[in-house]
Amino acid sequence: MDKRLLDILVCPLCQSQLHLDTNKHELICKADRLAYPIRDDVPVMLVDEARSMTADEIV
């Protein structure tokens, strides 16, 4: 993922900064405990498509 794109993307729910998980191909919102998928190098920034994360997954 392009670093410039990552710098401007924010969580659509709470507007907080997202963190890239390269292993799972997801953008992580720690505040909302959501993981947004990246499909074909395109982030899917829809809350309905996001995966809920457990407290153990968030580092």
Give the per-residue pLDDT at 28. 96
User: Residue 28 forms beta bridges with which residues?
Assistant: 19, 35
Give the per-residue pLDDT at 37. 98
Instruction: Say whether pLDDT at 1 is over 90.
Output: no
Give the per-residue pLDDT at 3. 86
* CA 4 to chain centroid: 15
- What's the rounded Cα separation, in Å, for the pair 4 and 50? 22
Instruction: Say whether pLDDT at 49 is over 80.
Output: yes
> What are the tens digits of pLDDT across the range 10-41?
999 999 999 999 999 999 999 999 999 999 98
Looking up tokens 């900064």 gives 17
- Domains of the chain and CATH, by start: 3-52 (2.20.25.10)
